[in-house]
């Protein structure tokens, strides 16, 4: 039986979460499109554009936050888009953790857009 795009997208998001929590930079980046764009949804401020900037951002985060952990509190699906309500702990400099929403868009079986809301 052929998997739906939603099932493939779900597996991609689950894999990137597992790699994020393990601070596995190569595995994490492998879930993202080479032209990935990450931005804050309300301000529209770009966090990173392209794999080089994306990888550099997360390499720094993983190196500075050895106790980094993301827990998905709720996941929703709207068409091919996945929306996660997340609580992230262990971020260097953020003692109380970070409550955020991540919205994942996809292209070619990989995450190509991430919009964050907090």
Could you read off the pLDDT of 61-86 as tens digits, one per residue?
A: 999 999 999 999 999 999 899 999 99
What the chain holds in terms of domains, given with CATH numbers, is 5-117 (3.10.450.50)
C-beta separation of 106 from 15 below 8 A = no
pTM higher than 0.75 = yes
The whole-number pLDDT of residue 48 equals 96
pLDDT tier at 2 (50, 70, 90 boundaries)?
very low
C-beta separation of 32 from 54 below 8 A = yes
What does the block give as tokens for 84?
């996660």
C-beta separation of 115 from 36 below 8 A = no
Give per-residue pLDDT as tens, 8-22: 999 999 999 999 999
The whole-number pLDDT of residue 118 equals 85
């Amino acid at each position: 039986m052929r998997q739906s795009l939603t099932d493939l997208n779900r597996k991609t998001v689950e894999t990137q979460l597992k790699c994020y929590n393990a601070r596995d930079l190569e595995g994490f980046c492998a879930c993202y499109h080479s032209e990935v764009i990450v931005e804050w949804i309300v301000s529209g401020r770009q966090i990173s554009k392209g794999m080089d900037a994306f990888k550099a951002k997360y390499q720094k985060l993983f190196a500075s936050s050895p106790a980094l952990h993301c827990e998905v509190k709720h996941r929703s699906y709207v068409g091919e888009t996945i929306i996660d309500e997340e609580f992230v702990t262990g971020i260097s400099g953020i003692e109380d953790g970070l409550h955020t929403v991540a919205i994942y868009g996809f292209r070619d079986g990989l995450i190509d857009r991430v919009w964050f809301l907090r």
